[in-house]
Amino acid sequence: MSNVRLLIAAFLLFVSLVHAQELHEKIFFENSLMDGSYYYTKTEYTGNSWVKNIQNKLPVSDENSFTPGNSLELSYRSASEGFWSAAILHHELRGKDHFQDADELSFWIKTEGNPAPETLPFVHLTTQRATQSTKVKLGDYLSSSSATNWTRVRIPLSAMMNDKPVDQAEIAVVVFSQNQPSTSDVRIFIDQVELVPAATIAMIIDNAPKAVSAKGYEQHVDITWKKETNPLIKYIKIYRSLNGKDFNPVGIQSPQIAGYSDFTGPQTTPIRYKLTHIDQNYRETAFSNVVTASTRSMTDDELLDMVQLSNFRYYWDGCESNSGLALENIPGRSTMIATGASGFGMMAILAATKRGFITRDQAAERFIRITTFLSKADRFHGVFPHFLDGTTGHVVPFFGQRDNGGDLVETSFLMQGLLAARQFFNGNNANETQIRNTITKLWNEVEWDWYRRTNDSDFLFWHWSPDQEWIINHKLIGWNETMITYFLAIASSTHGVPASLYYSGWASQSAEAAIYRTNWGQTTDGASYINGNTYHGIALPVGVSNGGPLFFVHYSFLGLNPHQFTDRYVNYFDNNQRIAEINLRYCIENPLKHKGYGADFWGLTASDGVSYYTADEPTVKGDKGKLTATGALASFPYTPEASMRALKNYYRTYGKYLYGYYGFRDAIDLDNNWCSPIYMGLNQAPITVMIENYRSNLLWDLFMANPEVQEALKKISASR
Ligand code: CA
């Protein structure tokens, strides 16, 4: 009996361990989002050898692709006196850090003419520690003619790793390099470079995508279909016809996303689409039915609807499938929920209900699922962790073992959304009653006072965990995104903190707080919370540096209406508007001469970058050359005209790269010809929510209607 129980326990442990590590495919290249060249490549040549490049990056070919829309062009001359090489670098997407075991390097090739096999390049791999594998000859692995058709090349990893075994996880670069000298140029195209399992039994899927529909907008068409969970499906392939007869492949989509935004620009005739499924061995099903849509001119209001809808979808059909909550980023881990982003997403769902994108009943069903899940999930004195496993409800220490407990700031973002929902669902039916009651319970159980650490502390603390306790020791000190944390801690009627903490903690004038601000702001401007300097002609009452990244004026104010919040120093609508204006004017002045910056292309805030996530701000030191749509668009209430100009430019000029089925991808860096491949849970919803606040005040009105919120306003006002 006890043995059986042990076995079951061991099995469950095994299952949970397996679950904890979602495994991803290691793909070096499928498509470049940007035209011209692919950012994650590097070319070199010496002597009389040469490899075609654009600023040391491989060119991208739109005309030739195995997986549409493009491939990498490898044009070279291999001279006897010289050498060339072209490297394709693996770019690790946020959270996609555990990979399936693979047996082969796989890619597809098409050659121009029939180059002699020995003139085709060597191929080798390089690890993160710069260990090089054995070089193999591409020509040895080319089984059939590749002059007219795309041909698959599969090179066993054992052929490259036989004398130098390495951990597959370490494989970071695929390198093509000069083989035999040749007197003529060679031109080949390479596509879909990845590590794959050995070819096994035939995997066949027989059904084409179902329930396909299409809807036209000003510059693009959204094609949607029914999401399939069949793991054999690698991609959905999209074909387009502009003349009603000839269909050309235009794109692929991951099965994680049940739609595709195809940028055609304005068209005068109807556009037709049909789709197929592609399996793991690149076999293709029959076509779906044909659907038709037309582009059309759109009013400003219609453009706002469109942008609100796309960004909302991230939280609706892009949610973690069990909990209904928001993922950290897409593509990314498919089971890891981000709690703060989920709070933002809840408000986007409420805005979408108001706009009629979904029905009230659909929204209520989702909130039943969300609140039921949250009631059972890990909490630490009522405080949720930053990340939760959506399948188990357990904490995921994504930022390291120290961060394995409660996160008070993320919890405040989550509660901001839940409190808005509690006012929205004011119906008497069973679902809406249950939603309100569960939210009240979750809210009342948050022990804000525990995160004060001691009864005489002037500050709230960001983290606590049962085994790590206060080891991270991060005190919450403004100006940043944590105003809402102090606000809700003061608002709580069950585990509240005194209103005096607003001034002793958030807006602290202490020497300790000044040092904290000076360290992260790299300036003494605003070190005592109040600022008082003028930047780009705009006086700034409150803020570190010249106001910092724009998310400071978004995250706390998705629900907290800044018009209604005035402290000892300033009214926060006025102050936030100034911070947004400073950001805009900085981008117009553009001291670092970054490409594109201007009155219709601005918005420095926290976002994904070419290498990692950074919080960008309008200073020479804090401006990395990348812009983020959410910076400008979540500022709509503060800068409506400049935000609308930015919306049109982001969509019309850069939408082709940036705009997808879940709205704007996270960031774009024109200097580097780079566009982020991910949508971010923290950055999509603020667009939908703040546009809604600009249009109707909806989320502001809902959040402010909570009696505890009104009480907090009074308490903070009384302590002025
Ligand atoms: Ca491709």
Ligand 1 centroid from CA 30, angstroms: 4
pLDDT tier, 20 (very low <50, low <70, confident <90, very high otherwise)? low
Ligand 1 centroid from CA 563, angstroms: 49
Average pLDDT over residues 621-645: 98
Q: Which CATH superfamily is domain 211-297 in?
A: Immunoglobulins (2.60.40.10)
pLDDT tier, 112 (very low <50, low <70, confident <90, very high otherwise)? very high
Is 633 in contact with 643 (CB distance < 8 Å)? yes
pLDDT tier, 205 (very low <50, low <70, confident <90, very high otherwise)? confident
Q: What is the dihedral of CA 247, 250, 256, 261, to 10 degrees?
A: -100
Ligand 1 centroid from CA 44, angstroms: 23
Give the up-direction half-sphere exposure of residue 659: CA atoms within 13 A in the CB hemisphere: 27
d(Cα 26, Cα 48) in Å, to the nearest integer?
34
Confidence at residue 8, expressed as pLDDT on a 0 to 100 scale: 39
Lowest pLDDT segment from 19-28, 50-59, 273-282, 362-371: 19-28
Average pLDDT over residues 567-574: 97
DSSP 168: G
Ligand 1 centroid from CA 60, angstroms: 9
d(Cα 356, Cα 695) in Å, to the nearest integer?
14
Ligand 1 centroid from CA 148, angstroms: 17
d(Cα 506, Cα 560) in Å, to the nearest integer?
16
Intervals of CATH 2.60.40.10 along the chain: 211-297
Ligand 1 centroid from CA 144, angstroms: 20
Confidence at residue 599, expressed as pLDDT on a 0 to 100 scale: 98
pLDDT tens digits, residue range 256-280? 999 999 999 999 999 999 999 999 8
d(Cα 608, Cα 658) in Å, to the nearest integer?
13
Average pLDDT of every residue of the chain: 94
Question: Which of these, 658, 637, 651, 639, lies nearest to 599 by C-alpha position?
Answer: 639
Pairing label, strands 50-51, 41-47:
unpaired
Structure tokens at 259: 């739609």
Structure tokens at 99: 């990979």
d(Cα 31, Cα 67) in Å, to the nearest integer?
7
Intervals of CATH 1.50.10.140 along the chain: 303-718
pLDDT tier, 143 (very low <50, low <70, confident <90, very high otherwise)? confident
Cα dihedral sign, 195-197-202-208: negative
Confidence at residue 130, expressed as pLDDT on a 0 to 100 scale: 87
Is 275 in contact with 286 (CB distance < 8 Å)? no
DSSP for 187-212, written as a single string: EEEEEEEEEEPPP-S-----PPP-S-
Pairing label, strands 71-77, 60-61:
antiparallel
Ligand 1 centroid from CA 252, angstroms: 8
Ligand 1 centroid from CA 70, angstroms: 4
Ligand 1 centroid from CA 190, angstroms: 8
Neighbours of 183 (CB within 10 A): 9
Ligand 1 centroid from CA 66, angstroms: 5
Ligand 1 centroid from CA 175, angstroms: 18
Which CATH topology does 303-718 take? Glycosyltransferase (1.50.10)
Enter the CATH code of domain 25-196. Answer: 2.60.120.430
Ligand 1 centroid from CA 356, angstroms: 37
Ligand 1 centroid from CA 244, angstroms: 25
- The model's pTM: 0.96
Is 259 in contact with 223 (CB distance < 8 Å)? yes
Is 269 in contact with 242 (CB distance < 8 Å)? yes
Ligand 1 centroid from CA 545, angstroms: 44
Is 413 in contact with 343 (CB distance < 8 Å)? yes
Ligand 1 centroid from CA 251, angstroms: 8
d(Cα 464, Cα 384) in Å, to the nearest integer?
10
d(Cα 480, Cα 267) in Å, to the nearest integer?
45
Q: Is the pLDDT of residue 369 over 50?
A: yes
Ligand 1 centroid from CA 267, angstroms: 25
Ligand 1 centroid from CA 406, angstroms: 42
Is 495 in contact with 447 (CB distance < 8 Å)? yes
d(Cα 312, Cα 358) in Å, to the nearest integer?
10
DSSP for 658-710, written as a single string: HEETTEE-S-EETTTTEE-S-EEHHHHHHHHHHHHHHHH-HHHHHHHTSHHHH
Ligand 1 centroid from CA 109, angstroms: 11
Helices (H) and strands (E) in the chain, counts: 17, 33
Ligand 1 centroid from CA 62, angstroms: 9
Residues sharing a CB contact under 8 Å with residue 96, sequence separation 6 or more, in sequence order: 24, 331, 332, 333
Question: Which of these, 153, 379, 401, lies nearest to 282 by C-alpha position?
Answer: 153
Ligand 1 centroid from CA 158, angstroms: 26
Sequence length of the chain is 720
Q: Is the pLDDT of residue 23 over 50?
A: yes
Ligand 1 centroid from CA 583, angstroms: 37
Ligand 1 centroid from CA 69, angstroms: 6
pLDDT tens digits, residue range 504-558? 999 999 999 999 999 989 999 999 999 999 999 999 999 999 999 999 999 999 9
Residues sharing a CB contact under 8 Å with residue 1, sequence separation 6 or more, in sequence order: none
Neighbours of 79 (CB within 10 A): 18
Ligand 1 centroid from CA 311, angstroms: 26
pLDDT tens digits, residue range 298-316? 999 999 999 999 999 999 9
Residue type, 440: T
Tell me the three-class secondary structure of 531-566, residue by residue.
CCCEECCEECCECCCCCCCHHHHCHHHCCCCHHHCE
Tell me the three-class secondary structure of 213-229, residue by residue.
EEEECCCEEEEECCCCC
Ligand 1 centroid from CA 673, angstroms: 17
d(Cα 584, Cα 645) in Å, to the nearest integer?
11
Pairing label, strands 534-535, 336-338:
unpaired
Ligand 1 centroid from CA 32, angstroms: 7
Ligand 1 centroid from CA 29, angstroms: 7
Ligand 1 centroid from CA 405, angstroms: 42
Ligand 1 centroid from CA 35, angstroms: 12
pLDDT tens digits, residue range 452-510? 999 999 999 999 999 999 999 999 999 999 999 999 999 999 999 999 999 999 999 99
Ligand 1 centroid from CA 193, angstroms: 9
Ligand 1 centroid from CA 179, angstroms: 25
